[in-house]
Structure 1
Amino acid sequence: MLAGIYAYRKQLLAEADAHRADASQLADRYTTAAGQLGHDQAAVRLAGVYALARLADDWQEQRQVCIDVLCAYLRMPYQLDPAALGHKEGEREVRLTIIRVIRDHLQQPDAPTSWCKHSFDFTGATFDGGDFTGATFSGGNVYFDRATFSGGNVAFFGATFSGGQERRSPGHAHLSLPRQTPAYRWRRSPIVGARATGHDEKAMVQV
């Protein structure tokens, strides 16, 4: 009897040690990826984007944190003019890659690595292109307050927004999409093809 209890306690301690080791490794990966996102070279920043996405897939408990970091990157000041002070070489490709990574994780709602039910805060972000085609935003909140769309199209063909909450921003356009509306072009805006589902769903963009 005592031997069995001792073996059981030993197993529990071993499992706890393994869990702490895993958590420490995941935390180290987060620190490394976040550091790469702040690097001067675009190639290193790109590596950080992919590393953070893989970490989000592996670390369900902190998946929202990883998503928040990627969204925060898109909210950072962005100089589109190559001749202007503050322009970063390769920055557009880094930002478009973040959008692609987010979209790819929003196309299979039932996948174990799906991000569909998480929140995305694009408040104040600048979009000069991007493709959210087929993305499903469900359960979390999606914010585009004061977002600027400039220099390219942001595609939302077949994208759906459902189950979340809206956040209004005074002085900005609110485009209300009726329930079960087929995909269509949003007039006066470079955003195309989105639709909303569910009760009183709205999508907001600056036009």
Structure 2
Amino acid sequence: MSLVVSAWLLFNWLIGSPPKASPKPLDITTQLELAKLAFATVAGLGALVALVTAYRKQRIDEVAQILARQVARDTNHDATERRITDLFGQSVEQLGHEQAPVRLGGLYSLERLAQDNPDHRDTVVSVICAYLRMPFLAQRAPGVARQGVTYPLELLDTLDRPGQQELQVRLTAQGILTKHVFRSTHSNSNYWPGIHLDLSGAELIHFSLSECKVRIANFEGARFIGGAGFRKAEFTQIATFIGASFQGMANFKEANFTHSANFDGAIFQGATDFTKSTFGSMVTFSGTSFDNDVNFTEAKFSGSAIFTSAKFTAATHFNQASLRECTFYGSEFSGFAVFDSARFHAEPDFDGASASHPNDDHSWPGRWRTDPTAATGLAPLVSWE
């Protein structure tokens, strides 16, 4: 304000002030109007000050309410996390209890925790998988507890009472996992998407992932006692069965391996069914043993299919299968192999492979045949022009 007055005075000095006339007294009416104007100005300023004050108070109240809500949310979140941590710790402690009913309670508590708190589902699934990875039958049959060796199904009938109770706990743990990855439950809250199952080295009894959908499944070195069901299962990323052993029937009918699958070194003792299964970028069966009938009828291999040094002991069916790039280098077909109406996008590789001879039940693709000059037994496969 002082700067404005100083500028005004300087301006008047430079241009010269006009001669001052004798002031004319104001009449009563003018004085009243000036007074009204002054009062109105003062009132307006007062109202403006009151408005600014009310606005600032409102803003302060709003900020205080926001902070209060944030503090309440943080407090509730901290309290919830503490409750979850306490429940998780108690549930895990129950899993280590010597009494089977207490272990069952721990499993159901973990399931409820994961159901109500999606952010903790991966952790809960990891804990349940870790429980299943702990030795079970290996402790009761140490003579056959080597990797790649399956246990006779009859061993389950010889379990003592604690063993039978533990069997029920493990079946419950398996059931909890499969319940929440079952594809038909996508429309309700029971489905847990994006699950990663790590059951490497686990002993799985009558295990089934039929019609289930998982992101990653690791069954490396797992032992499937009894049947193993993977009918219409969907693996959206990686499925690993390296060194797994299947004591009973393995049902992979219409299974979908979206990306890669690895069965290297797996042992299939029972009948194996891959009918109408689909394989993505790569599937490998190197060194895999099929000790019973295996069926790949109408299976679709979109990428590389590698059967290097695989062993097919009984009937092998690739009828109407679709294979893009495949190799059976060094494979053995002790039973008979049928490739009727199989479609190959590239010439299959049977170099170094051998098959039972003589055997009129074979039906080889393209120019491949067993060497007719070979002695009885396993004869090399040769390509005839």
Give the TM-score taking structure 2 as reference length: 0.44
Q: 1:155 aligns with which of 221, 229, 252?
A: 229
Distance in 2 (CA, whole Å) between partners of 1:196 and 1:57 is 27
1:55 alignment partner, one of 98, 113, 118: 113
Equivalence for 1:191: 250
> Could you say if the C-alpha distance between residues 89 and 173 of structure 1 is closer, same or farther in structure 2, counting changes exceeding 3 Å?
closer
1:101 aligns with 2:160: no
Q: 1:84 to 1:113 in 2, by over 3 A?
A: closer
1:50 maps to a residue whose letter is Y
Match of 1:145 among 214, 220, 245: 220
- The 8 Å contact of residues 199 and 220 in structure 2, kept in 1 or not, is answered as yes
1:146/1:206 contact within 8 Å kept: no
> CA 1:75 to 1:194, structure 2 compared with 1: closer, same or farther past 3 Å?
farther
2:135 corresponds to which residue? 77
Distance 1:159 1:199 in 2: 11
The code of the aligned residue for 1:53 comes to E
Q: CA deviation digits over 1:10-60, x for unaligned, max 9?
A: 111111101110111111110111011111111111111111111111121
Q: Secondary structure at the match of 2:229?
A: strand
Q: CA deviation at 1:173?
A: 6.3
Letter in 2 for 1:104: K
Gaps of 5+ in 2: 1-58, 141-154, 269-385
Q: Which residue does 2:52 correspond to in 1? A: none
Give the TM-score taking structure 1 as reference length.
0.79
Assess if the C-alpha contact under 8 Å between 2:198 and 2:217 holds in 1: yes
Asked if the contact 1:99/1:132 (under 8 Å) is kept, the reply is no
Go from structure 1 to structure 2 and tell me whether the alpha carbon gap of 1:44 and 1:13 turns closer, same or farther (over 3 Å shift): same
1:168–1:136 distance in 2 versus 1, CA, 3 Å:
closer
Alignment partners' CA distance in 2, 1:199 and 1:21? 41
Q: Is the CA contact 1:196–1:203 (under 8 Å) kept in the aligned structure 2?
A: no
Work out the CA distance in 1 between the residues paired with 2:248 and 2:159: 26
Distance 1:27 1:148, change over 3 A: same
Distance 1:23 1:103 in 2: 27
Q: Alignment partner for residue 191 of structure 2, among 114, 130, 134?
A: 114
Distance in 2, Cα, partners of 1:199 & 1:32: 38
Q: Percent identity?
A: 26
What is the alpha-carbon distance in structure 2 between the residues aligned to residue 38 and residue 96 of structure 1? Answer: 16
Kept in 1, the 8 Å contact 2:204–2:224? The answer is yes
Q: Aligned partners of 1:22, 1:78: CA distance in 2, in Å?
A: 35
After the TM superposition, which of the residue ranges 37-46 and 110-119 deviates more from structure 2?
Answer: 110-119
SS in 1 for 2:122: helix
Query: How far, CA to CA, are the matches of 1:66 and 1:52 in structure 2?
Result: 6
Aligned residues: 188
Q: CA deviation at 1:159?
A: 2.4
Q: C-alpha distance in 2, partners of 1:196/1:133?
A: 8
Q: Is the 8 A contact 2:181 2:192 kept in 1?
A: yes
1:148, distance to aligned residue in structure 2 (A) = 0.8
The AA in structure 2 aligned to 1:164 is Q
Question: 1:129 Cα deviation (Å)?
Answer: 1.6
Q: Does 1:4 align with 2:62?
A: yes
**Aligned-partner Cα distance in 2 for 1:199–1:130:** 21
Of the two, which has the highest radius of gyration? 2
Deviations 1:79-125 (A, max 9, x none): 2557689x644011111111111111012235444224110001000
Contact 2:207 2:227 in 1 (8 A): yes
Rounded to whole Å, the distance in 2 between the matches of 1:22 and 1:55 is 11
Preserved CA contact (<8 Å) 2:231 2:252: yes
Larger RCO, structures 1/2 (Cα 8 Å, 6+ apart): 1
Deviations 1:107-148 (A, max 9, x none): 2235444224110001000122233332122xx210110001
Q: What corresponds to 1:179 in structure 2?
A: none
Structure 1 residue 189, shift from structure 2 partner: 4.7
